[in-house]
Structure 1
């Protein structure tokens, strides 16, 4: 324990003088109350203030203090009087202090006097005199701040306010306001706060309403109690005994596998100190716990402060900001189980439209799929605004659209994403999954229409990326526009051939036109290899020579020497295997050979794209 210096002792003497020198003339014009009991006698007559009386007497065991006499003398005081429960809460937080009996040295008694004088004002201040934001100087020398929003609250040097539970208890020498917390000045926190606060594990051990949590810590990984005694700092969401009873639902802790129980408990631990005010300032969002989720990443935890402070939509803070030596504890009313993809979607009100769409008409297809713990998923989840803006212009089946946001069999975090194609759960036919183009040149965009706004929400069975637009079922045009490697092709199909509406032709779906299409798409480099891009009259048949209508020909359908007639009228020939790195080689209508297919099976809802490293030229002699 640090030694009180001379200044501290002089301060205590000064405060005693301040006590005894106050008179009725300093009461701000208030008439003395009509009662014969002074402040000390009033506290003695109030059962819930017996700990305050004992604290005054304990402090006076030091020869430096005479608080009982001071508060019994004539004067004009305001006392913010902590209840017995408030003192019990204080002892729960202090390491080595179970009661006032532990203040057993003059040094500790002088410390107690500093705390108590922080509750005293040298003038009568009734509740009607208090205003929002008002700063009041105590006899300890430090200020407290008043808030009148939803009650009367008093802010001290901690992050937890005291609330006035009973106001304007009159005494012969002042007025008493009963409060639900012991106020602590900054001087106390600076002097000994890092010495007397308990580590989190010991704080849990000292709380009779957290016995089940302590039992769970012991039953789980044997290192957890030691970890939570470590340096930290940690933020712990501590479920009450009632919360554990509801979670176990008649089962015993021993019925839960140790590794599962350990991970559930770690899902209540956040690295760093996070106070309720920090969360309220953010409003809502995600943080990570120490639990391990998909991909060995730390599990995500959704917080929402729109009403109370709640986590994952299932657990609410009942007692915030219990300060510990190595962090802070928030007592919560429910155990936070390990969330899967569906749990995270349900917990976040920003996904309510998505959840409604997934479960419309009692549909359980998606909830069953995305609750599967034997599979990994990457879900691109549109928010409510995205759904509100979506008009479904092509009249596509909503279930197919929702499937187009799910990648099955992988957990792809934002750091893993590159410019590439992946397959979604949506299908062109019964076994041909649609492709999704991911571009990471500037953030993460999907099919050129939807951007990731919140990445890496980690669940037990995958990851969610929140997106700002619904990803409609892609056509071959969608991929051409989305993929920057096809920008010259898009220019050729639009700006350079205005007399032909290639976009409309190649956007047809559901048998509305010549779909499905098999498109052999030249890259920008393929066009750059030409001496020049032909004028419109010659360019139109060249572009048509890259499209086979009425067939969705995937790589698995190709055989060596297969020929296909294009929209231009000439046939192309495909040979397998290709030379070098080519998947296959193409001979065009003009007889040019060695044109390579570099990538295959970019699947759209109205056809498939294979990527070419050269431009196909039709037979110009026929």
Structure 2
């Protein structure tokens, strides 16, 4: 036995020398092959890419039972399959708790390492690659067999399911030949000893767990490629439902009763990219991650985790056993299957949105839950967090259902990457049938109507996307849009600082018939004011501003006479002006003001507020100064 051990050490040393002879130096120049007078150990010592092999030989020889270096320096002949440094690094990555060869720090582990190394040595022959044939069986110094495959190269099969490839063949030495390979070979005896620490891919881990049989069956039933995906490099975090969890999910049904595409997406909703251990989740407290499932807009589905009481996901599934480490990630066994969340599910799962959920369902109201659970429609929801509700005083006494509707965009899943300075329509309405507008500004984060900012973006559900916001978005007046849109900053200055004797803000903020509302406002942009030779003094500016406002009417573009001229009702200044639809030179419509100036363009229409509507002008309207 001592002779065999010594011989094993010699074999390992030969591998190390051979690898060293074929490596690259610090300048990237490949080392020349060793002289044939060098034995296997000397060749390995001279090869940089076999330094791990040399270290392994030395570590194994720390046990009194082994003398591998001397053995592999002997007469031979030997055939040695020598793993590279990368191959040893891959082996260490598969061993839970092993960071380097120094972790083989006991006699038992050093003897185990010697067993691995002697499994790479064939004694009594120096077999060149041309001597190896497809299907050939080689008996190693360790006593177990290796299998040769020559299909597409030279491959050496061990007792695992992955063969090693010969990357550099036929490195001749004085006592044998070395073939450099890209994997450490493992015999079944070693695999049995390493069973408690040898990491396997996530799929193989599930196959070996008696409590995950239903998960394995579901993976096969859903998509034949899913087990292969979970054998990939990853890393993944897998939330693995127990057998009891699957039984509750199926509720008497069979896996075959669930459409394959649905089952596949449900299973992918349990797979997260990257490794998230329990300590990582607890360090974060709560938040969102993305799964491999597909949600609205073909985006990765969001999943909410909360560690305030154990570790739970989407408020429906808790971790029973955490941190089951695998070769390509980590598995947490959970007590419930995590379904595909719609917008209502996501809102209900997040404790920071309890005030919103309470408002949506107050008094048994199901209007919003029915709407936002509709899988036949898509939505964008701007969801105020609890602190936003706490701070909201509802200064205008607006109906809370209308306010909530103003946070919902129907018919589009608007993700943060696609947002820009623009107006969208919400589910809230003026006079029941005209959708209110919402102004989105992305100059500094995402701000809505100039008052509420997006705190958490892109919470992806099956039927849309949620953006958590820090304030409740009240129903907008025409003043709201004027102050929120930076294109109207000069107009706002004109209505306030330049005309202090007239309280335009109070006039144009009236709603519910408490003033001259509703208003139709024709709003000049900053560029329109810049085109003036100078902004008039207050006495002349007041009638000009009044000439842009029609009181008592909400005139939308659809109310204009198509292919003709529409004479507006009198403005606050007293004059009328004319709108011609369609416009010319790219204008939506053309305007002739009270002074008879023509060529004024309407560039945007129907910015709808709760107390009126705004149309955007490219020039300032001038009233008739002769009357």
TM-score normalised to the size of structure 1? 0.71
2:573 paired residue number: 568
Residue 213, structure 1, aligned to residue 215, structure 2: yes
> Which portions of structure 1, spanning 4 or more consecutive aligned residues, are displaced by more than 3 angstroms?
1-13, 106-113, 191-195
- Partner residue, 1:612: 617
C-alpha displacement at 1:226, in angstroms? Answer: 1.0
Deviation at 1:430, TM superposition (A): 2.1
Contact 2:56 2:113 in 1 (8 A): no
> Tell me, what secondary structure is at the counterpart of 1:511?
coil
Instruction: Output the CA distance in 2 between the equivalents of 1:526 and 1:532.
Output: 11
**Number of residue pairs the alignment of both structures matches:** 460
The answer (yes or no) to whether the contact 1:452–1:467 under 8 Å persists in 2 is yes
Q: Is 1:382 aligned to 2:387, yes or no?
A: no
SS at match of 1:359: helix
* Alignment CA distance shift 1:247-1:316 (3 Å): same
Give the 3 Å change call, closer, same or farther, for CA 200–94 of structure 1 in structure 2: farther
Q: Does the residue aligned with 2:591 lie in a helix, a strand or coil?
A: strand
- Tell me if structure 1 keeps the 8 A contact 2:436–2:609: yes
- Equivalent residues in 2 for 1:295-444, closer than 5 Å: 295-444=297-446
| Contact kept? 1:383, 1:466, Cα under 8 Å | yes
* Partner of residue 549 from structure 2, selected from 536, 539, 547: 547
CA contact (8 A) 1:94 1:198 kept: no
Provide structure 1 residue ranges, at least 5 long, that are not aligned to the other structure. 14-61, 65-92, 96-105, 114-187
The answer to whether the 8 Å contact 1:194/1:325 transfers is no
User: Does structure 1 conserve the Cα–Cα contact (< 8 Å) formed by 2:314 and 2:338?
Assistant: yes
What residue is the counterpart of 1:285 in the other structure?
A: 287
**SS of residue paired to 1:196:** coil
Alignment partners' CA distance in 2, 1:419 and 1:209: 52
Q: Is contact 2:66-2:111 (8 Å) kept? A: no
TM-superposed CA distance for 1:609, in Å, is 0.2
Question: Residue deviations 1:240-289, cap 9 Å, x none?
Answer: 01101111111111110000000000000011111111111111100000
Q: Which residues in structure 2 correspond to 1:51-130 (within 5 Å)?
A: 110-111=111-112
Once the two structures are superposed, the pairs formed by residues 154-553 of structure 1 within 5 Å of their partners are: 196-553=198-555
Verify: 1:599 aligned to 2:604, yes or no: yes
Match of 1:585 in 2: 590
Q: Give the whole-Å Cα distance in 1 for the aligned partners of 2:382 and 2:464.
A: 11
Secondary structure class of the residue paired with 1:290: strand
Q: Deviations over 1:323-342 (max 9, x none)?
A: 11111111111100000000
Distance in 1 separating the partners of 2:333 and 2:381: 32
Deviation at 1:576, TM superposition (A): 1.4
Aligned to 1:22: none
- Structure 2 alignment gaps of length 5 or more: 1-11, 13-51, 68-93, 97-106, 115-189
Map 1:134-145 → 2, pairs under 5 A? none
Instruction: Give, in angstroms, the shift of residue 229 of structure 1.
Output: 1.2
Distance 1:94 1:215, change over 3 A: farther
TM-score by length of 2: 0.71
Q: Using a 3 Å threshold, how does the CA distance of structure 1 residues 386 and 193 change in structure 2: closer, same or farther?
A: farther
Contact conserved, 2:242 with 2:334, CA < 8 A, in 1? yes
Residue 87 (structure 2) aligns with: none
1:151 corresponds to: none
